[in-house]
Structures are given as C-alpha cells and as structure tokens.
C-alpha cells in the first residue's frame, strides 16, 4: 500500500511537471507572438560583397542573402562583418 502511494505520488508529480511545462511553453510562445519581432525583409546582398570573416583562422563566408543579422561564430569567436568593394566586372 505504501509503495502504491509512492508510485501514485511520482505519477502525479510527473503529470504536474508535464502540465506546468506545457503551459509554460504555451505561455512563452504566446508572449513571443505578442511581441512582434523586428522583421527585416530578406535582402539580396550578393552584389554588395558582404563577408563574415573569422579573425582566428581566416575563413570567410560570403553573404548572399541577409535576413535577420545573426553573426555566426567560428573558432569560438564571433566573425567579423566585412564589406568589400564590389568586384569590378571584367567587361566594362
């Protein structure tokens, strides 16, 4: 009987935990929806020659489309945003 009560308590605790988790997540999602995220139109920046450069190892990523600016990390460091002059077209 004692063991059954213990199991019952554990089950109730688990159910409550899941319920709280569920409502918590729902609440947070609702709050996130209420606060409008600053939406930036996805911009085609392939012509602007924007690069993410790793200061540690020199790896470069060219940015061709820019949505929300999230600077990636490389070698554990945030990459530098470098804007290079547009390469001159060969046939001018």
Please give the residue ranges that form the binding site for Zn ion (CB under 5 A). 54, 56-57, 59, 74-75
Q: Measured from the CB atom, is 43 or 56 closer to Zn ion?
A: 56
Q: How far is CA 34 from CA 25, 31, 39, 69, in A?
A: 14, 5, 14, 21
Report CA torsion sign: 48, 54, 59, 61.
negative
Task: Provide the minimum distance between the beta carbon of 77 and Zn ion in the complex, in angstroms, as a whole number.
Answer: 7
Task: Provide the minimum distance between the beta carbon of 55 and Zn ion in the complex, in angstroms, as a whole number.
Answer: 8
Q: Which helix (H) or strand (E) holds 81?
A: strand 80-83
Q: Measured from the CB atom, is 43 or 60 closer to Zn ion?
A: 60
Q: Measured from the CB atom, is 44 or 77 closer to Zn ion?
A: 77
Task: Provide the minimum distance between the beta carbon of 80 and Zn ion in the complex, in angstroms, as a whole number.
Answer: 11
């Amino acid at each position: 009987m004692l063991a059954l009560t213990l199991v019952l308590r554990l089950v109730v605790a688990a159910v409550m935990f899941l319920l709280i988790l569920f409502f918590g997540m729902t609440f947070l999602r609702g709050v996130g929806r209420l606060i409008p995220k600053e939406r930036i139109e996805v911009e085609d920046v392939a012509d602007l020659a924007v690069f993410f450069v790793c200061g540690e190892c020199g790896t470069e990523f060219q940015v061709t489309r820019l949505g929300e600016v999230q600077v990636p990390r490389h070698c554990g460091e945030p990459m530098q945003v470098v804007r290079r002059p547009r390469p001159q077209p060969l046939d001018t």
